[in-house]
Amino acid sequence: MAVKDIVKYPDPRLKVTSDSVYQIDKYILQTIKDLSDTLDAYPHTVGIAAPQIGITLRIIIIDASKKRNCRDNHGKLVLINPEIYSYDGLLQFREGCLSIPDFTANINRAKEVSVCYYDTAFKRQFVKASDFEAVLLQHEIDHLNGVLFLDRVISKRTDLFRRKKYI
């Protein structure tokens, strides 16, 4: 098991646009395993992007099934070079992030998204997601573009919240 350290804000690596993946090799497979192991090490975390472990490649893993009451989801997905090609609707969602552990914020996101990506066999796939899973995809794809949820906060005065610490 290779649980990696999480890159934390304001580390400049979180603001870099990630490079595309052009083939599956041992390095890419190891990166996917490290991402998966790291995601699994945080029981309440539902998504992770390669930049969060210091690797600027366009790879994310999401698992909306880890969230209670999220019945409409596709389970654990590994997405390589994901791109959102359609958006629909709007909702406001409270987001948090492993890379910004001290805050959460209300963010406006699309209610539904359609995403094309490559799987671990480097075959092109498509997924349509709604509600929580759609928000999750948008959040993680933002990481690949050097965008953090803090960049999307409409009002830092009314929509940014200090996360409660549990003892």
What pLDDT does 167 receive?
A: 44
List active site positions.
140
141: its two tokens: 């794809």
Q: What is the pLDDT of residues 42-59, one digit of tens each?
A: 988 999 999 999 999 999
Q: What is the pLDDT of residues 106-156, one digit of tens each?
A: 999 999 999 999 999 999 999 999 999 999 999 999 999 999 999 999 888
Residues making up the chain, counted from first to last: 167
CB 99 within 8 A of CB 52: yes
- In this model, does residue 14 exceed pLDDT 70? yes
163: its two tokens: 């996360």
CB 61 within 8 A of CB 78: yes
**What is the number of other CB atoms lying within 10 angstroms of the CB of residue 55?**
20
**What is the number of other CB atoms lying within 10 angstroms of the CB of residue 9?**
16
164: its two tokens: 């409660």
pTM score: 0.94
What pLDDT does 62 receive?
A: 97
How sure is the predictor about 73, in pLDDT bands with cuts at 50, 70 and 90?
Answer: confident
109: its two tokens: 């996101």
In the predicted model, what is the mean pLDDT of residues 61-88? 89
Q: What is the pLDDT of residues 30-42, one digit of tens each?
A: 999 999 999 999 9
Evaluate whether the domain defined by 12-162 bears CATH number 3.90.45.10. yes
